[in-house]
A and B are shown apart, each in its own frame.
Chain A
């Protein structure tokens, strides 16, 4: 756990699970903000009332509602819960929501001179500024904001580290410029541009960008038990929880899931198909093929670089293959993908194969809510453990390694000319264009939206 925002998010989830199990959620929901911020107690923002308002919106998102769609400010959380209980499936709508009340409306990014400035004789700041925006006023350097082009040269050359950059963390983190300020100066996501990588969610120090959770939907499904509910665990789970993966599976089974499966089994199929597709495409004269398992990356291509889409592999993701395996055995099964990813929630909305997506945070909260200790569980007997290469999909380079190993089965001396984009950022679109130009000798490109791969996903518990 890295910060107070995460603590609050997880604490609320655990409270929600406990109240759900006690059957008191509806009565308790509207009390939670007051209970957590009682009068005369401490507040994290200007006052307890502001804190309570933000907590209410957090709970709203936890119940699966978007703050932007709020019509009646006076509507109780209990009434939202009633609506959520009636929900049969998840609406095809963006899975992120911004809590305006929580957004601090950070001032626009700029370069500023701090009191570290010694008004030195050399004055590299004034000499290196390409637009003459830096001048000396008295014995201190000064930046004319109307001229500044935010190149950062002055900051780099100052020997006293006297120039700092203030930033808007969400805007800075967004690789595609999908965040802008609304007329009240609060952050707003442009969902036409958003690729759901979750970088803004992870970056906001006020935790104002939230996910619309499906935790209540899954809890309801597990309680109703109308059909078989199967948990599909992403390969990134192996380093996330205390205890072994086999113990984690037993713990998940105890939550009421009828079966637990490794998504790595789906990854094995992705590898085999992707290797074959690669051979076919190269034989047909295509120069480059990229991976397709990272949904945020695929979204990025479709929304921002449609011409590049022809290079993206058409092989379905491990999640889809895993869900297919489940449905082959039990066609009516309710499938719940559990992973560290926000973009997967979007992918699941547009396939019938996956019904719900939970994050590791939500899974942890359900286990914590029910006081299920992973370390003390018996080991689950995996009938067909996935191979190590498939389990390694969650690490950057994992997909390439698996595909290469598959290709080498037939041709032991096969050489893959591969490159990696390990974590997408504002430069990624440029990089992709460069790869498309054919100037870089590469035929296999692996792209992971998160630095280091899925193990560092926005909703992972342990960041590496």
Chain B
């Protein structure tokens, strides 16, 4: 199976507004996910326009932008993307 890509924006706005916490997501991820999810820190995704500052922090999962990213919302999205995964 192709790995799910999770890219965490480390632009300064996102970093200030929460991604520094998300950078530790790999450590708290369920062990069995670690082979199916590729986590990387990437430079600014340019989503933090003036109207949209409060959308930060942003991440990109399989190419799809997610705003207000939290550990919970990222986990939920990964769960949806993992084939045949139920609760865990």
**Bound complex: CA of A361 vs CA of B15, how far in Å?**
11
For B46, list chain A residues within 8 Å (CB).
371
Cβ contacts B35-55/A at 8 Å (1 or 0 each): 000000101101010100110
Task: Please state if B53 and A7 are interface contacts (CB–CB under 8 Å).
Answer: no
Q: Nearest Cβ in chain A — how far from B47, in angstroms?
A: 11
**Bound complex: CA of A241 vs CA of B50, how far in Å?**
22
Cβ contacts A7-39/B at 8 Å (1 or 0 each): 100110011001000100000000000001000
Given A18-B50, A375-B43: A461 and B20 interface contact (C-beta under 8 Å): yes
Given A1-B18, A376-B43: A371 and B53 interface contact (C-beta under 8 Å): no
Given A14-B53, A15-B53, A461-B20: A371 and B15 interface contact (C-beta under 8 Å): no
Task: Please state if B48 and A371 are interface contacts (CB–CB under 8 Å).
Answer: yes
Cβ contacts A409-428/B at 8 Å (1 or 0 each): 00000000000000000000
Q: Quick check: is A90 within 8 A (CB to CB) of the other chain? A: no
Task: Please state if B44 and A7 are interface contacts (CB–CB under 8 Å).
Answer: no
Interface set, chain B 1-30, CB cutoff 8 A to A: 10-13, 15-18, 20-21
**Bound complex: CA of A402 vs CA of B34, how far in Å?**
42
Range of interface residues on B (Cβ < 8 Å): 10 to 19
**Bound complex: CA of A322 vs CA of B12, how far in Å?**
27
**Bound complex: CA of A2 vs CA of B46, how far in Å?**
23
**Bound complex: CA of A241 vs CA of B41, how far in Å?**
13
Task: Please state if A375 and B13 are interface contacts (CB–CB under 8 Å).
Answer: no
Given A1-B21, A11-B53, A373-B43: A364 and B16 interface contact (C-beta under 8 Å): yes
**Bound complex: CA of A373 vs CA of B42, how far in Å?**
10
For A18, list chain B residues within 8 Å (CB).
50, 53
For A373, list chain B residues within 8 Å (CB).
10-12, 43-44
Q: Quick check: is A218 within 8 A (CB to CB) of the other chain? A: no
Q: Which one of B20, B50, B54 lies within 8 Å of A1 (CB-CB)?
A: B20
Given A14-B53, A15-B53: A367 and B12 interface contact (C-beta under 8 Å): yes
Which residue of chain A is the closest to B51 with respect to CB atoms? A35
Cβ contacts A383-399/B at 8 Å (1 or 0 each): 00000000000000000
For B20, list chain A residues within 8 Å (CB).
1, 242, 461-462
Range of interface residues on A (Cβ < 8 Å): 20 to 34
**Bound complex: CA of A209 vs CA of B73, how far in Å?**
31
Q: Quick check: is A219 within 8 A (CB to CB) of the other chain? A: no
B interface SS class: helix
Task: Please state if B16 and A242 are interface contacts (CB–CB under 8 Å).
Answer: no
**Bound complex: CA of A7 vs CA of B17, how far in Å?**
6
Task: Please state if A371 and B44 are interface contacts (CB–CB under 8 Å).
Answer: yes
Which residue of chain B is the closest to A19 with respect to CB atoms? B50
Interface set, chain B 37-83, CB cutoff 8 A to A: 41, 43-44, 46, 48, 50, 53-54
Q: Nearest Cβ in chain A — how far from B70, in angstroms?
A: 11
For A242, list chain B residues within 8 Å (CB).
10, 12, 15, 20, 41
Task: Please state if A241 and B53 are interface contacts (CB–CB under 8 Å).
Answer: no
**Bound complex: CA of A11 vs CA of B50, how far in Å?**
11
Q: Quick check: is A204 within 8 A (CB to CB) of the other chain? A: no
**Bound complex: CA of A242 vs CA of B17, how far in Å?**
13
Q: Nearest Cβ in chain B — how far from A256, in angstroms?
A: 16
For B44, list chain A residues within 8 Å (CB).
371, 373, 376
**Bound complex: CA of A367 vs CA of B10, how far in Å?**
12
Task: Please state if B50 and A368 are interface contacts (CB–CB under 8 Å).
Answer: no
**Bound complex: CA of A251 vs CA of B15, how far in Å?**
15
Q: Nearest Cβ in chain A — how far from B62, in angstroms?
A: 22
**Bound complex: CA of A88 vs CA of B41, how far in Å?**
42
14 A–B contacts, CB within 8 A, in A order: A2-B21, A7-B17, A7-B18, A10-B17, A11-B17, A11-B54, A14-B13, A18-B53, A242-B20, A368-B11, A368-B12, A368-B48, A371-B13, A461-B15
9 other A-B residue contacts (CB within 8 Å) besides A242-B41, A374-B12: A1-B20, A7-B18, A11-B53, A36-B54, A242-B15, A365-B16, A368-B17, A371-B11, A461-B15
Binding site for B on A (CB under 8 A): 1-2, 7, 10-11, 14-15, 18, 22, 36, 241-242, 251, 361, 364-365, 367-368, 371-376, 461-462
Binding site for A on B (CB under 8 A): 10-13, 15-18, 20-21, 41, 43-44, 46, 48, 50, 53-54
* For the complex of A and B, 7 pairs with smallest distance between CB atoms: A368-B13, A368-B12, A367-B12, A373-B44, A242-B10, A364-B16, A1-B18
